[in-house]
Amino acid sequence: MITESMTRVLLPAERIQARVRELGAAIDKDYPNGVLLVAILKGACFFLADLARAVTRPVRLDFIGISSYGKSKTSSGEVKLTKDLDTTIDGLDVLIVEDIVDSGITLNYLVHVLQQRKPRSLRIVALLDKPDRRVRPVDVAYVGFPIPDEFVVGYGLDYAEQYRNLVDICVLEDVPNE
Ligand code: PRP
């Protein structure tokens, strides 16, 4: 059940949209010939949809599924590929689109996997970054917002598959550790 009292707005929708436009402009500048945007399911889908429309260069889209959390709010450290790309990325400029970098386990794993496929370039854009939580190194080229170590939901981010459709990014208060 989604109730107002359980969440506190951290980043309102207007602020998110303004930052996404800035990220789109930066990507336009860095990829004049366009880029393949690879979104990590499921959380990054909302960010991908807005970011792709903030970029004016040619973009192609693909999706990859990686699960590291299950339904727990803390990282188990286990990573598995749940859906592979449809695109052969050999020789392509690839930009991984992620909603949040937390421990870095997901992106550290994905970069390792995709580098072996010999893309022309491989970089990361993440809307949110929790640098204090990092346990694996990740080089994030574009960060929307560095945020403190609080449990956030909304704009694609979930808790036990809820809250993804909130337009703001909110802190979920009093979440029990699972
Ligand atoms: C979340 C989030 C990132 C990852 C970040 O995904 O969307 O992909 O965890 O955590 P990490 O840096 O500690 O690896 P999750 O596995 O919850 O799946 P979801 O996107 O389907 O919610």
In three-state form (DSSP H/G/I as H, E/B as E, the rest C), the secondary structure along the chain is CCCHHHEEEEECHHHHHHHHHHHHHHHHHHCCCCEEEEEEECCCHHHHHHHHHHCCCCEEEEEEEEECCCCCCCCCCCCEEEECCCCCCCCCEEEEEEEEECCCHHHHHHHHHHHCCCCCEEEEEEEEECHHHCCCCCCCCEEEEECCCCCEEECCECECCECCCCCCEEEECCCCCC
The alpha carbon of 47 and the centre of ligand 1 are apart by a number of angstroms equal to: 13
Ordered per-residue pLDDT tens for the chain, 178 residues = 555 558 899 999 999 999 999 999 999 999 999 999 999 999 999 999 999 999 999 999 999 999 865 544 455 567 889 999 999 999 999 999 999 999 999 999 999 999 999 999 999 999 999 999 999 999 999 999 999 999 999 999 999 999 999 999 999 997 766 4
The answer to whether 124 and 140 are in contact (CB under 8 A) is yes
Catalytic residue among 50, 99, 102, 129: 102
The answer to whether 9 and 174 are in contact (CB under 8 A) is no
The alpha carbon of 106 and the centre of ligand 1 are apart by a number of angstroms equal to: 7
For residue 155, give both structure tokens.
Answer: 């704009």
The answer to whether 163 and 99 are in contact (CB under 8 A) is no
Predicted confidence at residue 69, as pLDDT, reads 54
Predicted confidence at residue 175, as pLDDT, reads 75
Predicted confidence at residue 80, as pLDDT, reads 85
The alpha carbon of 68 and the centre of ligand 1 are apart by a number of angstroms equal to: 6
Predicted confidence at residue 3, as pLDDT, reads 56
Predicted confidence at residue 71, as pLDDT, reads 43
The pTM of the whole model exceeds 0.85:
yes
Q: Which of 45, 48, 68 to mutate to test the pocket of ligand 1 (most atoms within 8 A of CB)?
A: 68
